[in-house]
Amino acid sequence: MTPADLVRLKYAKDLLENPGLAAKLTNVIGQPFEKAFDYLPAKWSGAIQNITKKSLTHALDAAVKTIHHSEKNHSSNTLHKFLVAASGGIGGAFGLPALAIELPATTVIMFRSIADIARSEGEDVQQIETRLACLEVFALGGGSEKDNAAESGYYAVKTLLAKQVSEAAKYIVEKGIAEEGAPALIRLIAAIASRFGVTVSQKAAASAVPVIGAAGGALINSIFMDHFQNMARGHFIMRSLERKYGSETIQRRYLVSMP
């Protein structure tokens, strides 16, 4: 590997193995994060999972219809972050009941930002494989003190999703994405939603703290977006390096450099 690509590999690893969203949100809500969950009604755990699945399905469908190729070699991170902040501000003003409306909108914007980052790293966003790789980013929530490294590391998550991604790609190529109840897509989205739902719960808990309000909701959404933009950048740098050097070589280098 060239020295420049070794630097890119280290940068990607630093992004992908960083502390989870809860650690970042603790500084915003000004209290131990566990206490924030006390403001969430018990029934919201199941509700958040349902909203998360619907949001991911809607985002993938919208992205397949509307993402177009661009010759730009940079991504519009700031614009997408501004749009998500505006969405969070509206959601924060109306509290938890607005999550069912705010999260789908936020997820679509995030998907567009992730796809924009993918394109800037040399991916063809017209390819189904690339779009599913964008969807994978929602499962890359980052580590936390409670995570088992064997289950939460970048390659562990990729391995966990590999079969579902492969089956979903094959199904879409053969039958398209619009068919109702596509079993391969349902399995993939369920697997991703189980992980993305954790970070959505963290975001919802932070937003539920009484003093947050609209301004806090906008800030929380900005942190939420920034977190997944970092995950996307790391993910697509890794894919770029794997295309250049082979997946086995890059995985070996990545794991050897892990702390």
How do residues 76-113 score in pLDDT, each as one tens digit?
656 555 555 555 444 444 455 667 777 888 888 889 88
Q: Tell me the pLDDT tens digit for each residue of 22-59.
A: 777 777 676 666 777 777 777 777 788 888 888 898 88
- Most distant CA atoms of the chain, gap in Å: 52
Higher pLDDT, 127 or 144: 127
Positive/negative CA dihedral, 183, 203, 26, 86:
positive
Measuring CA to CA, which residue among 6, 9, 15 is closest to residue 228? 15
* Cα 211 to Cα 29: distance, rounded to the nearest angstrom: 8
Task: Report yes or no: 188 and 132 within 8 Å, Cβ to Cβ.
Answer: yes
AA identity, residue 201: S
Q: What is the pLDDT of residues 187-197, one digit of tens each?
A: 899 999 989 98
Separation of alpha carbons 192 and 184, rounded Å: 13
Per-residue pLDDT tens digits for 215-225: 566 778 888 88
Q: Are 87 and 107 in contact (CB under 8 A)?
A: no
Distance CA(88)–CA(163), nearest Å, equals 34
Please, are residues 115 and 122 in contact by the beta-carbon 8 Å criterion? Answer: no
Identify the pLDDT of residue 66: 63
Q: Please give the share of the chain, as a percent, with pLDDT higher than 90.
A: 28
Q: Where are the beta strands (DSSP E) in the chain?
A: none
Q: What is the pLDDT of residue 201?
A: 83
Q: Give the DSSP H or E segment for 132.
A: helix 128-136
Predicted confidence at residue 68, as pLDDT, reads 61
Phi/psi for 181 (5° steps) reads 65, 30
Indicate the DSSP class of residue 19: B
SS3 143: strand
| DSSP state for residue 30 in the 8-state scheme | T
Give CA–CA dist 54/107, Å, rounded: 10
How far lies 28's CA from each of 73, 208, 216, 225, in Å?
33, 12, 8, 15
pLDDT band at 150 (very low <50, low <70, confident <90, very high): very low
Would you call 129 exposed, middle or buried from its count of C-beta atoms within 10 A (0-12, 13-18, 19+)? middle
Asked whether the beta carbons of 35 and 85 are under 8 A apart, the reply is no
pLDDT at 98: 66
Are 50 and 204 contacting, i.e. CB atoms less than 8 angstroms apart?
no
- If one counts every other C-beta atom within 10 angstroms of the C-beta of residue 152, the result is 19
User: Cβ(203)–Cβ(216) under 8 Å?
Assistant: no
